[in-house]
Copies of this chain bind each other. A is one copy, B any other.
């Protein structure tokens, strides 16, 4: 598959990494970039991530065969509104948002029925705690999952095109029902990010903060890595997926309350039960993960 022109709207970590990967694999001829930060776009151009850029989303999608929406979620409304009249009739559109219901709501509001047929909502479950074009790299999606959440009206051809794009950059593609995606990701990704942000902010506000960070062990470094993630992006995820995330926060808090009570009561039976159950789930998860995602390793 060779695509003539791809438009990457948002040259952050995900958009730029996809651009790099597509280029390296020879999947497309030309890549145009759009964003609201001219500095980032200039860097993307200098680094060879994109061939040209514009600050006008409509101009970016002109003549594009594939359009990738890769901005934080709260910009989706203005993106769809900006590009809808400039899209080629058969342009295939996808996005990389971490929650899907809100993106799809925007798409339904702005796109025509024909355009909706060519819209394939997607979510590459990949990233690092870094952001921006300079943190991007072509291998980001290798051995990672990409979840597509097609609409009832999404055409088979469009879905096939987006699947092939992700597979060409080394990802494994799977599909999920829209609302279900947002529930599952609230649990596996959005909740952990909230815990990491809350933990770091909690410790940073303590009197002994310098000492606390000085004595933090390796576990802490791993555990809080995701607290270095892009605040704007995570604000948008929280706002977009607030119902599911609020539910998960409540569930987590009750579980933490149980642990807190057991510690307060010196109840070793309860603590051992919780820790043993968690350890066995986590060990099982790690084992399954290593055998399913990297079947060759």
Contact = CB atoms under 8 A, between A and B. Distances in A.
Question: Which interface residue of A126, A192, A292 has the most chain B CB atoms within 10 A?
Answer: A192
B188 A275 contact: no
Interface residues of A, number: 95
Question: Which interface residue of A184, A185, A225, A275 has the most chain B CB atoms within 10 A?
Answer: A275
B264 A242 contact: yes
Interface in A245-297: 245-246, 248-253, 255-260, 262-264, 266, 268, 271-272, 274-279, 281-286, 288-289, 292
Given A255-B201, A255-B202, A256-B253, A196 B223 contact: yes
A197 B278 contact: yes
A251 B246 CA distance: 19
Contacts of A215: 125, 145, 147, 176, 184-185, 188
Contacts of A264: 242, 246
A37 interface: no
A235 B268 contact: yes
